[in-house]
Structure 1
């Protein structure tokens, strides 16, 4: 068991002939008591500091654990967000590809329809030109033939008949 300052103070030594000088021994013991009390106070202060630092260390360890867990949660969340973003991007790409295919298909169908319409119009134009050519040729033939004069006579008779009828 360690000595206390009181133990040192209460310690009595036996006397012998030619023993130590009592005053010197008492002075020395007084100095030992004071130094010992100072060491005890310093030790107590160090223990308090150590306890306080241990509490802080425990607090910081707790914070470190919390931060580690928070970082893990943040990393998991970031991975989840990235995964969701990839999935969404893939969906957008698939939808865009479908829309592009639909637009291309519609454009091809319209182009085919326009080509068919154009062929039909070209056929109709060819038929119209042929009929118009035939009409012009028949009119030319009629002008070159003598029937033209009979046409003038028939026209004049009709005009006269109309005039007589009073219309």
Structure 2
């Protein structure tokens, strides 16, 4: 049975032979009714506060869930970016290796060509020296012939 402040305020009691003083009872019932009114208002205020807090808690939980989803998404994106960067770094490394290998092959080929050129120049030099020596010896022989007579 719910008891309201009005129920307390207007409660009637049977009067007995040596009953209570009606004015004092009425005064006490009025105080109890006032206190019950205050408690009822406080109770309703607290219930409203609970509804507000439950609503805020629900919103906070939704926000937390959104935040967790955002963190998971950010972690996944970071992982994907890291993997992509690793793949790109590997590709750049392979390209650099290929370029280095190509450059080395070109350098080796150029060195072989230069060595060939040097060898050709040596042969030409030796040929020139031999021809020049033969020419000089021919001139010396001719000079020797003119000196003897």
TM-score by length of 2: 0.96
> What SS does the aligned partner of 1:74 have?
helix
Aligned counterpart, 2:92: 92
The structure having more radius of gyration, on CA atoms, is 1
1:11-26 paired onto structure 2 within 5 Å: 11-26=11-26
Q: Which residue of 1 aligns with 2:82?
A: 82
Count of aligned pairs: 149
Q: Which runs of 5+ in 1 are unaligned?
A: 150-167
Q: What is the match of residue 160 of structure 1? A: none
Q: Does 1:132 align with 2:132?
A: yes
1:142 and 1:148 in contact (8 A); partners too: no
**Match of 1:3?**
3
SS, match of residue 91 in structure 2 = helix
Aligned residue in 1 for 2:29: 29
Higher relative contact order (CA 8 A, sep 6+): 2
**How big is each residue's C-alpha offset from its partner over 1:29-74, in whole Å with a ceiling of 9 and x where there is no partner?**
0000000000000000000011011111111111000000000000
Query: How many angstroms apart in 1 are the aligned matches of 2:109 and 2:115?
Result: 10
- Runs (4+) of structure 1 exceeding 6 A deviation are none
Measured in 2, the distance between the counterparts of 1:63 and 1:69 equals: 10
Runs of 5+ unmatched residues, structure 2: none
2:34 equivalent to 1:53:
no
Corresponding position of 1:39: 39
SS at 1:16 equivalent: coil
- Displacement after TM superposition at 1:148 (Å): 10
